[in-house]
């Protein structure tokens, strides 16, 4: 019965992963990992306190029966007895496949679950919205604990750590579709007035300093686009802003939470960031769907701070920390 149940569970897992990979539905890896941890824990506890003691008792009973048989034969003067119960004992003690593939995997899955939930989580950059800081195909690491400790799956913060700073690159749950992860740069924190007018960023009425750094090839348009350094907070980072792509912004439909905090004009947008929210933008300013278009990021949507490219299979020189 247990082997059939385990086989059915693995069948459900294969169907779920297959549909996720094929795009038939949106997967939730955090929830999947939590379920796998819980299920394998149940199997591990059953193995520890029921199945393994039962196998050990059966092996001990076999040895007692063999010893009793040999003792009876010895009374009859028979000293040499054929047969060795060692192989049969080993088979009795052997873990069946359905426990090996569940209880046996629990410690590994638990370690992955704890590391991913509370320390570091890997992500892959799927689009060019963060160029030139992050490229398509970059595999990055995110510090889950940087802004505080959050419960896995429900993402509820239970302990604070560092405050979110202007200039931080953050991974967050996309507010219109919370099951999708986005990555952008924080440009304004609660209480700030942020303005992006005529491709110029200003915070609380002060223009954000930028310095032209020449041009960079845009892989999407196969043209060269201007690159600048921008200073938000203490650190400088690169952005891409192309004056040739200057276009109008508004008026936009006010359909997102706290939309009344924003004013749209053809030159751009000005917003007052509400408490517990952040205004985020992509470093590729002319190719990024961000807070200018869908609103603010609530603090409870934050996943963590991105800080390191650990692999890019198309360009190994990308490996390293970034600002």
pLDDT digits (tens, 9 = 90+) for 275-289: 999 999 999 998 899
Q: Which residues of 224-238 are buried (b: 16+ CB within 10 A; e: fewer)?
A: ebebbebebeeeebb
Cβ atoms 196, 275 nearer than 8 A: no
Q: Which among 117, 184, 288, 305 is annotated as catalytic?
A: 184
Q: How far is CA 268 from CA 200, 201, 229, 253, 258, in A?
A: 9, 10, 21, 14, 17
The pLDDT value given to residue 284: 93
Residue 249 predicted with pLDDT over 70: no
What value does the mean pLDDT take over residues 252-279? 90
Three-state secondary structure readout of 129-149: CCCCCCCCCCEEEEECCCCEE
Among the residues of the chain, which ranges form H helices? 2-22, 29-46, 52-75, 86-93, 97-100, 106-118, 291-294
> Where does the chain hold its CATH 2.10.109.10 domain(s)?
121-321
pLDDT at 166: 96
pLDDT score, position 272: 98
Higher pLDDT, 8 or 186: 186
- Give DSSP secondary structure letters for 168-187: -EEEEE-TTSTTSEEEEEEE
Say whether pLDDT at 145 is over 70. yes
Please state the separation of Cα 297 from the chain's center in Å: 17
Q: Which residue has the higher pLDDT, 81 or 173?
A: 173
pLDDT at position 220 over 70: no
The predicted-structure confidence for 39-59, as pLDDT tens digits, reads as follows 999 999 999 999 999 999 988
pLDDT at 254: 67
CA distances from 303 to 141, 154, 157, 282 (A): 11, 11, 10, 17
CB 271 within 8 A of CB 189: no
In the annotation, is 129 catalytic? Answer: yes
Is the pLDDT score of 1 beyond 90? no
Question: Taking a C-beta distance cutoff of 8 angstroms, is the pair 14, 22 a contact?
Answer: no
| Nearest in space to 166 (alpha carbons), one of 128, 205, 203 | 203
Q: Which helix (H) or strand (E) holds 227?
A: strand 223-232
Structure confidence at residue 282 (pLDDT): 96
The yes-or-no verdict on residue 89 having pLDDT over 90 is: no
* 257-209-288 Cα angle (round to 5): 40
Taking the C-alpha atoms of residue 270 and residue 250, their distance in angstroms, rounded to an integer, is: 11
Structure tokens at 54: 């039962």
Phi, psi of 90 (to 5 degrees): -65, -40
Residue 117 a catalytic site member: no
**CATH fold for the domain made of 121-321:** Umud Fragment, subunit A (2.10.109)
Q: Which of 30, 117, 129, 291 is catalytic?
A: 129
Residue 199 has pLDDT above 80, yes or no: yes
Q: How far is CA 29 from CA 13, 88, 112, 178, in A?
A: 12, 42, 12, 13
**At residue 84, does pLDDT exceed 80?**
no
Given this model, what pLDDT does residue 248 score? 63
Half-sphere exposure of 316 (CA within 13 A, CB side): 0
The answer, yes or no, to whether residue 61 has pLDDT greater than 70, is yes
């Amino acid at each position: 019965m247990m082997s059939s149940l385990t086989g059915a569970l693995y069948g459900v897992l294969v169907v779920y992963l297959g549909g996720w990979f094929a795009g038939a539905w949106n997967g939730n890896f955090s929830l999947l990992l939590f379920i796998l941890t819980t299920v394998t824990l149940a199997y591990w506890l059953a193995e520890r306190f029921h199945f393994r003691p039962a196998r050990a008792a059966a092996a001990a009973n076999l040895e007692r029966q063999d010893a009793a048989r040999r003792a009876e034969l010895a009374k009859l003067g028979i000293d040499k007895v054929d047969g060795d119960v060692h192989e049969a004992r080993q088979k009795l003690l052997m873990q069946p496949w359905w426990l090996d593939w569940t209880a046996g995997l629990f410690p590994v899955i638990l370690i992955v679950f704890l590391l991913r939930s509370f320390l570091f989580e890997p992500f892959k950059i799927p689009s060019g919205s963060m160029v030139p800081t992050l490229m398509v195909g970059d595999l990055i690491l995110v510090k889950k604990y940087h802004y505080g400790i959050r419960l896995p799956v429900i993402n509820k913060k239970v302990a604070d750590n560092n405050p979110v700073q202007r200039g931080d690159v953050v991974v967050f749950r996309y507010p219109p579709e919370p099951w999708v992860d986005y990555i952008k740069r924080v440009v304004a924190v609660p209480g700030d007035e942020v303005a992006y007018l005529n491709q110029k960023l200003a915070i609380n009425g002060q223009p954000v300093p930028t310095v032209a750094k020449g041009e960079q090839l845009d892989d999407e348009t196969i043209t060269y686009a201007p690159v600048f350094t921008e200073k938000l907070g203490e650190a400088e980072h690169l952005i891409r802003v192309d004056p040739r792509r200057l276009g109008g912004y508004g008026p936009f439909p006010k359909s997102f939470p706290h939309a009344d905090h924003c004013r749209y004009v053809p030159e751009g947008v000005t917003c007052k960031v509400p408490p517990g929210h952040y205004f985020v933008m992509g470093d590729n300013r002319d190719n990024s769907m961000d807070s200018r278009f869908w609103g603010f990021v609530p603090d409870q949507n934050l996943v963590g701070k991105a800080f390191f490219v650990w692999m890019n299979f198309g360009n190994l020189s990308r490996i390293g920390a970034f600002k």
